[in-house]
Amino acid sequence: MNRISDSMFHSRSAACKKPYGAVPAGQAVEFSVYPQRAQGALQVTLWIEEDGCQAESHPLHWCGYQGSHDRYTVTYTPPHPGLYWYYFSVELADGLHYCARGYGGQAELLEAVGDKYQLTVYDGEYHTPRWFGEGITYNIFPDRFCRDKAPEQPESEGVVERVLHQNWDDIPVYLPDEHGEILNNDFFGGTLLGVYAKLDYLESLHVTTIYFNPIFQAYSNHRYDTGDYKRIDPLLGCEEDFRALCSEAARRGMRVVLDGVFNHTGYDSRYFNARGHYDSVGAFQSKESPYFSWFDFHNWPNEYGSWWGIYTLPQVNETDGSYQNYIIEDEDSVVRRWLRLGASGWRLDVADELPDSFIQKLNAAARREKSDALIIGEVWEDASNKISYSERRRYFQGGELDSVMNYPLRDAIFGFLNGGTAEHFAESMECIRENYPRDVFYNLMNVVGTHDTARALTLLGVTENEWKMDRNGRAHYQLPPDRLEIALRRLRMAAVIQFTMPGSPTIYYGDEAGQQGFEDPFNRQTYPWGHENQELLAFYRKLCEIRAEEQTLADGDLQFSDTTAGALLRYERTSGDSRLVIAVNRGHQYVETKIDALYALDLLSGEGFAYADPDGLIVSVPPETAYILRCVNAAD
C-alpha cells in the first residue's frame, strides 16, 4: 500500500511509515506526513511516548513535493522494547491541528489530540519457535477423544469415586445435582494410549502439533482444577504412556503441547486439600502447610480468593517464591519436568491473569530445558496492547509469549460468514498484523472452535430462538437437514480462511467430523468414531494436504485485495514465484473477480480457469464457496 491519498498519513503505507508494523529495538523508523500544499503547512511535529511516559517531540523536515502535497519526514529510533504511542501536530495556515489514527490506519485531522497510533517494539534477538506456526495443530480434550479400553475406577491417592460412562455415545451430565451444582465428575475414559492408537489418523490430517487440554490428575473431567501437577490423571494413563506417546509422535514429526493451569489449583488437590483426599497437609488444613503461602486467604480456611469466585478453583499467588520454585525454577519444576519427559511447549490458561514476571520466568526456564520450547497464551483480544486488572501487559517484547490463541481471527470469520463485510474482516486482521511482531503473527494458534466455545457447526446453523432452549433442549439438539447443509457450507468456508491465514490452523477434535454442540458440556462430547461426516472429513483432509504442501501458506506474504464487494473476501499469499489467491464468497449469488494471471487452478476442486476474456482472467466464484487458486502469471 504505497499510494498517497488525501489523508496526510497512513500507518500501513510504506510511503508514510517504514518498516511496516512492529519493529525491533534500535531499528530506525521513518515517518512521512503529506499535508496538501493548499493547506499552507508551517510545521509538522511527531509526538511519541513510551507507554505510561511523557510524549517527546520530534520536528519533521520538509523534503519536497509529492504531487499536490508537501512531504515532511523524520526518523525515530526506539531505544528499547516496549509499547509506544504516537501522533502528529500540524500547524496549518488556519491554526494548529492534530493528525490522529482513523479507520484503517488513515489519519484524521482533528482540533484536539485523538486516538494515537501504536508502535510495538520488541527484542530483535529473541526468536519464536517457528515449528508451531508452520504446521497444523490438533486440539484434544483428553477425556473425550479416544479410549483404549472401558473405564474403571482408578485406585490412586486423591482420586475419589467417579461417574464412569461405559457407553461412549452418552451425553455428558449437564443438570445440577440435588445441591444445585454441576460437579463435572463424569468421565468417558479417554486415554493417552487411545491417542497413541489414533496417531495414524492424526498423521492423515498432516498434524504436526498435538495440543492437549489438561492431562494432570484432577477432580473434574475438564481437569482445569489441577489436583497434582506432577502426576498424569490415572484414568488417562501413566507417565510411561506419556513418554511413549511423545516418542512415537516425534518419530512421525509431531510435537506435544500441554495446558498449564497456573493461575489456580483445585479445591480437591494436593496443595489445597479441602476434602482431605490427599495424603498431604494442604493449605486448607493448616497454616503450617508448605503450600499455605500459595493462597490468598481472607479468613482462613473458608474465605479465599478464587478464579471468578468459583470456590473449587482457589487462586494462587504467582509471585510467591515457593510456588515459583515448584512450577518454574526447580530442576524438577512442573514446567521443566514435562518438557524433559517429551512435551515441546505449554499453553498458559488465562495468561492475562498471570503476572508478566511469572510468564517471563516460565519462558526462560522452558528455554533452558529446550531451546525451541513454545509458550502460548490464552488471550481473547489483541494481545499486543492488552490491559488486565488495570495493568498493561507485556507479551511480545521478547521472552514472554511466542504465540496466543487467535480469537480475533475466529471473531472475524464468524462475523463475515454471518453477514459482515469483507472490508471489516480485512480491517480486523490488518490491525492484528500491524500490532504484532511478524514472527508472532505467523506463529498464532488459529482457532475456529475450542473447549470454551460452542461447536463451530452449531454456531453456523442455529437460529436465535434455538439459543433460548432450556438445557434439556440444547443437550439433545441436532441441526435439521436443511440448516445442517447451510452450516456445512459455512464451516468449509471458515476452514479455508483458517487454513490460509498466517499461523497454525488448529482443529478442535471432532469439528472435522461434523460434531455439533452448544456450550459446555455439549461442546465437549466424545469424538464420533464410526459416525463421522465422511464428506466433511474428506474436505478437511484435502485442506490439510494443501496446507502441508504449500509452503507459501506457512510463510508467504499476505495482501488483501479490494474488499468493496462486501460478500467476497479475497486475499493473496505470495512467496517468490508462488502466488495463491484465496476467494471466499459468503453470498447467495455468483461473484466475479478479476485476477492478473494467465491461468489459475483451484487446489480444492481441481477446476482450472484460463485467460480468455479481453479484460483478463475472470473467475466466477459460486455462492457459499471458497477457492484456493494457484496462479500462473504472465511473466512465469
Interval 458-492: pLDDT, tens: 999 999 999 999 999 999 999 999 999 999 999 99
**How crowded is residue 53: how many other Cβ atoms within 10 Å of its Cβ?**
11
The answer to whether position 414 is within a domain reads no
What is the pLDDT averaged over residues 16-25? Answer: 98
- pLDDT at 635 (0 to 100): 56
Indicate if 180 and 142 belong to the same structural domain.
Answer: yes
The answer to whether position 436 is within a domain reads no
Instruction: Give the H/E segment covering residue 309.
Output: none
Indicate if 310 and 186 belong to the same structural domain.
Answer: no
Q: Is the pLDDT of residue 2 over 70?
A: no
- pLDDT at 614 (0 to 100): 74
How does residue 633 score in pLDDT terms, banded at 50, 70 and 90?
A: confident
* Structural domain boundaries enclosing 37: 17-122
Indicate if 398 and 513 belong to the same structural domain.
Answer: yes
Indicate if 29 and 98 belong to the same structural domain.
Answer: yes
How does residue 3 score in pLDDT terms, banded at 50, 70 and 90?
A: very low
Quote the CA–CA distance of 251 and 299 in Å, as a whole number. 52
Quote the CA–CA distance of 514 and 527 in Å, as a whole number. 10
pLDDT single digits (tens) 288-304: 999 999 999 999 999 99
pLDDT single digits (tens) 585-598: 999 999 999 999 99
How does residue 6 score in pLDDT terms, banded at 50, 70 and 90?
A: low
Indicate if 291 and 160 belong to the same structural domain.
Answer: no
Indicate if 182 and 236 belong to the same structural domain.
Answer: yes
Q: State phi, psi for 203 to the nearest 5 degrees.
A: -65, -35
Indicate if 182 and 102 belong to the same structural domain.
Answer: no
Burial group, residue 336, by CB count within 10 angstroms (0-12, 13-18, 19+): buried
Percent of residues, the chain, with pLDDT higher than 70 = 99
Picking from 316, 338, 359, the residue at the C-terminal end of a domain is 316
Indicate if 175 and 257 belong to the same structural domain.
Answer: yes
Picking from 67, 87, 122, the residue at the C-terminal end of a domain is 122
Give the CATH number, domain containing residue 385.
Answer: 3.20.20.80
Query: Would you say the pTM of this structure is higher than 0.95?
Result: yes
- Closest Cα to residue 264, out of 241, 295, 242, 288? 295
Quote the CA–CA distance of 499 and 548 in Å, as a whole number. 10
Indicate if 198 and 329 belong to the same structural domain.
Answer: yes
Average pLDDT, the chain: 96
Instruction: Give the H/E segment covering residue 199.
Output: helix 199-204
pLDDT single digits (tens) 137-161: 999 999 999 999 999 999 888 888 8
- pLDDT at 240 (0 to 100): 98
- pLDDT at 636 (0 to 100): 54
